[in-house]
Amino acid sequence: MVEEQTQIQTQKEFSEFDEKKKIKYTIEYELNEEYDYELVKHLMIEKRYLPLWPTAGNYAKIVWKIDYSDPTTIRISIYEARESWFGTGSSGIAEIDANFFFEEDPWFLKAEELEEHIEKFGVKETAKDILDSLLDYFRDSLMLEKETLGLSEEEEK
């Protein structure tokens, strides 16, 4: 009897250009093998500005790297990278470590839901929705912390 082994694709990338083909949006993720390959461990959102002249070889991009290898902490790195006639390099914009209590894992960290969203709305809109969701999680978490510390506006009155 021969056992069949199925290989799971642990990394996927989705890309899309804007209408003028000057901006490329990319969402790339790696699955977390510790959670039966259902959850995303690393998620990258990239907005890349393509060169004005196709052969120039210069570009600039903004990258959001989201790490969810620990199920209670989201680690976010945001940076700008560039390659141009005036220099090459990257500048860090922000490093954020956030501990959240999730009743359930965020939709964008569930591989199946993430892919369904990309298929339905496209890469650019999905990237926007992910960033909006992250902001909502931050806001909700900070509001909960405010209440816990007795600093909410309702308690002041």
Q: Which residues touch 67 (CB under 8 Å, ≥6 apart)?
A: 41, 42, 43, 74, 75, 76, 77
Q: Tell me: pLDDT of 59 over 80.
A: no
Confidence band for 88, pLDDT divided at 50, 70 and 90: low
Give the tokens for residue 44.
């990258």
pLDDT in tens, 101-122: 666 778 898 899 999 999 999 9
Give the tokens for residue 16.
């899309």
Measured distance CA(74)–CA(68) in Å, rounded: 5
Q: What is the CA radius of gyration of the chain?
A: 19
Residue 71 burial (C-beta neighbours within 10 Å; 0-12, 13-18, 19+): middle
The per-residue pLDDT for 22 is: 85
Measured distance CA(115)–CA(57) in Å, rounded: 31
Please say whether the beta carbons of 27 and 118 come within 8 A: yes
pLDDT in tens, 25-44: 999 999 887 766 688 889 99
pLDDT in tens, 39-57: 888 999 999 887 756 656 6
